[in-house]
Structures are given as structure tokens and as C-alpha cells.
Amino acid sequence: MKQSGLVVASHGRHCVVETPDGERRICHPRGKKSQVVVGDRVQWLASTDEGTIEKVEPRHNLFYRQDEIRTKSFAANLDQVLILLAAEPEFSEMQLTRALIAAEAEHITPIIVLNKRDLTELHARAFARLEPYVKMGYTVLQGAFKTGDLGDLPERLKDKTTLVLGPSGTGKSTLINALVPNANVATAEISQALNSGKHTTTSTTWHWVDAERKTGLIDSPGFQEFGVHHIDAMQLAAYMPDFKPHVTNCKFYNCTHLHEPSCGVQDAVASGAISPSRYKLYGMLFAELTQPVNY
């Protein structure tokens, strides 16, 4: 008999499915193409001690990155993406912008969180770099997770499904352990089961924050570059909230906002409505997305 379930971990061709009453078991997708990702709602069929995914329910969204060759999915059916930054190490505005664009493209709400506010001076400097993002309407929260100060985060996460993205050293483990005691143990157990005994922690894992299983937190492994090759260069400005209102002032409907006369975006840069750093990032991303692909 087919049962419904939620994919709470995945690695390669295996995944862990959780039933509505909280039981978990390893499942394998049927057929080669039906790759499942964490957050997928599925119909599965039990075999002796494992199971087979029979159907993946249609996704509301899929958060992913794409380089020139590969697509890497993070998770599906998200309410929000938490982009974790910290006073130190110094964050990359380029990586932040890429993650924000990928979230916009899938209509997923991003939340930027700046950790380590106990490091007063470094924090002030980092927060100043985030000012354009506050101005363009993004939620920017702050905390000092190590000291137990989670700021407004618990309230923002409540009853939602949130993917946590954090470059190494920002405090992602500290956060997840603060919200989900024993998260480490659960992740290690799942990884071990999925890797048939090998002890690695490379899989994306869903954690429940509350006993009622309403607040979901998805921890994903680190990555090097956030590729946005799935984005059409001509759509970039539409996914940048500081650019978007100005494109309607461009004379040419197919304006690239790089060199055309009577360009609303370039006017906004000149007037200070768009920050120079964001315009520079736009130019770099546009070049990257329009450059011929080298295999």
C-alpha cells in the first residue's frame, strides 16, 4: 500500500523518508530519472525493511544552483532561505547576491542573518556593508549564537520550512545545535545509514525544531561557488529589488543597463539609489551569464 512521506535526507540515490507519524526509513527512487531532494513530499511503497519512491508530488519550488555543467539542488518546498553571515570571516557580497537572486527566481523569501554581534567593531563594519540590502527591503536579523543570543530568529522560523545556507565559519553548526539539541547525532546516524556504514556528513538533513513537527530547519553541506547559470542575463535586474523599479525608466525595452543611453538603472546609480557595489556585481554577473560556455 502506498503511503505519504516527507524526504528528510538524501544522498546519491538513497533517501530517508519520514511518515506522518514520525517513523523513518531508507527509500530508493524507482527509475533513474526520479531524483528526490530533501523537502519533497512523496508516495512510497514499503518493501521488507526499506522502501521505494513511487511518486514525487509536484514541488512548490526548488532551490538550486547551477554552474556551467551541473545543477545542484539544495531542497524543495521551502518557505524561506536563511543566508547566514557573520562579523567574521568577512562575507562575500558576490556570494550573498547570488544566493538572493536564486531565491528570488524561485519566489522563496530570503532572510539575511548576521551572527557574532558580540564582536562589536567587526559587526559594525559588516552591518554597514548590509545597509543596501536593508534599504532594498530584505529582512536582516542579528545574533550572537555562541552566547545564546538568537535575536528574532526563533520567531521568524516558527511553523516554517527554512533552508540554512552558511559559508564555513559563520556559526551554522552553533545555530543548528542551539535550536535542535542532538542535531549532530541525528545527522551522523542518517549519514551512516545512507552511506552504508561510512561515516561522512555530506548529506542535506531536515531537522524538526519543535516536538509538534511544524518548524523545519534544513542543514545543507557547504559549497564553493553559488552558480546562477540557470538565470537569463536579461532577467537579472528583475531579480534585484534595488534595480527592478528603475528598469521601467529605460528607453530600450531590451536595455542591458550597461552602456545604453537613457537608462533608468544607470541614472539610479548616478543618483545613489543603487549602490556602486551592487552595480559592479550586476556587471560581473551579466558578463558571466553571457559569456560563451567552455567545456
Ligand X SMILES: Nc1nc2c(ncn2[C@@H]2O[C@H](COP(=O)(O)OP(=O)(O)OP(=O)(O)O)[C@@H](O)[C@H]2O)c(=O)[nH]1
**Residue set of the binding site:** 115-118, 166-174, 250, 255, 257, 263
Q: Given the DSSP bridges, would you call strands 41-46 and 2-11 parallel, antiparallel or unpaired? A: antiparallel
Cell numbers found for residue 169: 565559519
Q: Which is nearer to Zn ion, 99 or 250 (CB)?
A: 250
Under 8 Å between Cβ of 243 and 265: yes
Cβ count within 10 A of residue 107: 9
CB of 293 to Zn ion, least distance (A): 26
Residue 51: other Cβ atoms inside 10 A: 21
- For ligand X, the closer of residues 184 and 235 by Cβ is 184
- Count the site residues for ligand X by CB under 6 A: 17
Query: Among 110, 131, 118, 133, which residue's Cα sits nearest to residue 87?
Result: 118
Map the footprint of ligand X across residues 142-201, applying CB under 6 A: 144-147, 166, 168-174
The least CB distance from residue 246 to Zn ion, in Å, is 8
Q: Which CB sits closer to ligand X, 41 or 123?
A: 123
**Rounded-to-integer distance, Cα 78 and Cα 175, Å:** 19
CB of 144 to ligand X, least distance (A): 4
Q: Which does 115 bind (CB under 5 to 8 A by kind): Zn ion, ligand X, none?
A: ligand X
Residue 260 neighbours by CB under 8 Å, 6+ apart: 250, 251, 252, 266
As given in the structure block, the three cell numbers for residue 76 are: 524543495
Residues at the contact surface with Zn ion, assessed by CB under 5 A: 250, 255, 257, 263, 265
Residues forming a β-bridge with 2:
45
Residues 79 to 118 in contact with ligand X, rule: CB under 6 A: 115-116, 118
246 interface partner picked from Zn ion, ligand X, none, CB below 5 to 8 A per type = none
- Residue 233 CB, nearest approach to Zn ion (Å): 13
52 is a site residue for ligand X (CB under 6 A): no
Distance CA 198, CA 269 (A): 52
Question: Which residue ranges make up the site for ligand X (CB under 6 A)?
Answer: 115-116, 118-119, 144-147, 166, 168-174, 222
